[in-house]
Amino acid sequence: MNLDQQFLNNSLRSYIAIGAVLIVALIVKRFISRFFASLIYTWIDKKNHSELRKSHVHRLIIPIEQFLIYLVAIIVLYELQFPAQWNIHLYKLTLQVLVEAVVKLFFIILFIRVCLRTLEFVAIVLEEKAKLSKDQTDDQLVLFFRDFFKVILYIVGFLLILHYVFNENIGNLVTSLSLVGAAVALSMRESLENIIASFIIFFDKPFTIGDLVKVNNFTGTIEKIGLRSTRIRTEDKTYISVPNKQMVDSIVDNISLRTERKITLDLQLSVATTALQLAAYSQYIQNEIRQLKNVGNVLVYVSEAGKQFHVLHIECLVSMQLEFNEFIALKEKINVAAIQYANDHSIYFATTV
């Protein structure tokens, strides 16, 4: 067999060498792809948990394998001479130029695909680690930056295709896009302010997912912090969206960060109530409240004395560790005790005409 025999402008020896390289690449591609996937996982997770490795590393293996095979195929095929009889003209392009453009197109697509899979792989691992902490902001932050960098990769891929496949000068294009972007930014000033506010919320952390907050006369639980708005499930079980700019600029009362919750009662008593009855009533309520669990800083006094009624002010602080139903039950117990004492000692509440 004559290995120097020419076939389509290339020797048989060249075809055999290229075939051998491709066969070797097909054999070792799985080992190389596993190595790179494990390397990326180890770089992300220093603890290197075996269970997480098994469940996530396979996500990267196939894209890396496809990219490696395609890369090796391009390198070895470029060693061949393009057959002269195939170099026909299609409109203003030759077949060789068209084939090279298609090869570059698929190379860029596979490269961006590997980058996207790597980004998703990193996001999944970081999300698994974030679930181990009680702070749910980490989970939202991972998803936010995953989507943000996906958009960046799509833009980079689009610019690479324009430059290497269509031979466009992306420098002029980027300059034009910058001018257009500036005009769009002016017209979308409010949306940009909300996006900037979302970064402030993520890094300053005035509240996190799961916190009970009060903002703009609405009280509810934070369910999602988005790129533009924050979603809140109110006490009425409605679902509202508040622009992030308002969440940053407004006064937000983070109820979950309170150390104690206040119970305040004002008893309007008849003007026929004597001073001795008021003093005894005040002392009784103080003693009753102090005997209750999870209650501190009890304050009971006559706040107003007037022609229409006397006001006995009751105030105490309750631990935030107490469940809401228990808090309501405690408040009811104080009310019932106040009413019972008034009934037993002939103390009457003021009536409105």
What does the pLDDT read at residue 145? 78
> Which band of pLDDT confidence, cut at 50, 70 and 90, is reported for residue 353?
very low
Contact yes or no for 325/305 (Cβ under 8 A): no
Q: Are the CB atoms for 226 and 246 separated by under 8 Å?
A: no
For 277, counting Cβ atoms within 10 Å of its Cβ (0-12 exposed, 13-18 middle, 19+ buried), the class is middle
Higher pLDDT, 50 or 317: 317
Displacement of CA 195 from its chain's centroid (Å): 13
- Secondary structure string (H, E, C) spanning 158-223: HHHHHHHCCCCCHHHHHHHHHHHHHHHHHHCHHHHHHHHHHHHHHHHCCCCCCCEEEECCEEEEEE
Q: Could you say which of 186, 206, 235 is where a domain stops? A: 186
Q: Which residue has the higher pLDDT, 334 or 14?
A: 334
pLDDT of residue 126 exceeding 50, the answer is yes
Pairing of strands 89-90, 93-94: antiparallel
More confident residue, 311 or 3: 311
Regarding whether 292 and 174 lie in a shared domain, the answer is no
* 193 belongs to a structural domain: no
Supply the CATH number for residue 323's domain.
Answer: 3.30.70.100
pLDDT higher than threshold 80 for residue 162: yes
What total of structural domains would you count in the chain?
3
pLDDT tens-place string over residues 91-121: 677 777 787 888 888 889 888 988 888 888 8
Distance CA 37, CA 276 (A): 82
- For 149, the token pair is 């960098």
Lookup result for tokens 């009457």: 348
Name the least confident of 90-104, 124-138, 298-312, 331-345: 124-138
Do 212 and 163 share a structural domain?
no
Residues 121 and 212 in one domain: no
Least confident of 188-192, 219-223, 241-245: 188-192
Whole-number pLDDT of residue 310: 92
54/26 same-domain check: yes
Is there a single domain that holds both residue 98 and residue 12?
yes
Domain assignment present for 18 = yes
Quick one: residue 136, left, alpha or beta (phi over 0 = left, psi -120 to 50 = alpha)? Answer: alpha
* Domain-embedded: residue 212: yes
Instruction: Give the residue carrying structure tokens 């075809």.
Output: 15
Task: With respect to residue 352, please indicate whether it lies within any of the assigned structural domains.
Answer: no
Query: Averaging pLDDT over each range in 154-168, 244-258, 278-292, which range is the top one?
Result: 278-292
- H and E: helices and strands count for the chain: 10, 12
Neighbours of 129 (CB within 10 A): 17
Domain co-membership, 109 together with 205: no
The answer to which of 50-54, 118-122, 177-181 has the lowest mean pLDDT is: 50-54
Tell me what the mean pLDDT of segment 83-95 comes to.
69
Give the phi and the psi of residue 169 in degrees, each rounded to 5: -80, 100
Least confident of 156-160, 173-177, 289-293, 335-339: 173-177
Measured CA to CA, the distance from residue 3 to residue 167 in angstroms comes to: 38
Please tell me the least confidently modeled range out of 200-204, 252-256, 325-329. Answer: 200-204
Asked, for residue 353, whether it belongs to a domain, the answer is: no
Instruction: Answer with the one of 214, 236, 254 that is the final residue of a domain.
Output: 254
Say whether both 204 and 334 belong to one domain: no
Where are the extended beta strands (E) located within the chain?
Answer: 6-7, 10-11, 89-90, 93-94, 212-215, 218-225, 229-234, 239-243, 253-254, 260-269, 295-305, 310-319
Domain that holds residue 129: 6-186
- What are the angstrom distances between the C-alpha of 245 and each of 143, 239, 252? 20, 18, 12
User: Residue 225: inside a domain, yes or no?
Assistant: yes
Q: What is the CATH number of the domain that holds 226?
A: 2.30.30.60
Examine the domain organization and report whether 148 and 55 are in the same domain. yes
| For range 306-320, the mean pLDDT | 88
Same domain, 250 and 264: no
Domain-embedded: residue 174: yes
135 and 205, same domain (yes or no): no
Which two three-digit tokens encode residue 163?
A: 């430059």
The terminus-to-terminus CA distance of the chain in angstroms comes to 120
* Helix 58-77 with 95-130: angle, nearest 10 deg: 160
Confidence of residue 67 (pLDDT cuts 50, 70, 90): confident
Alpha carbon distance 221, 19 (integer Å): 63
Q: How confident is the model at residue 344 (pLDDT cuts 50, 70, 90)?
A: very high
Domain boundary among 254, 277, 295: 254
Domain match, 35 and 166 both: yes
Q: Do 177 and 218 fall into the same domain?
A: no
Residue (of 38, 29, 84) closest to 60 by Cα position: 38
Is there a domain that residue 216 lies in? yes
For residue 167, give Cα distances in angstroms to 170, 175, 177, 226. Answer: 9, 17, 18, 38
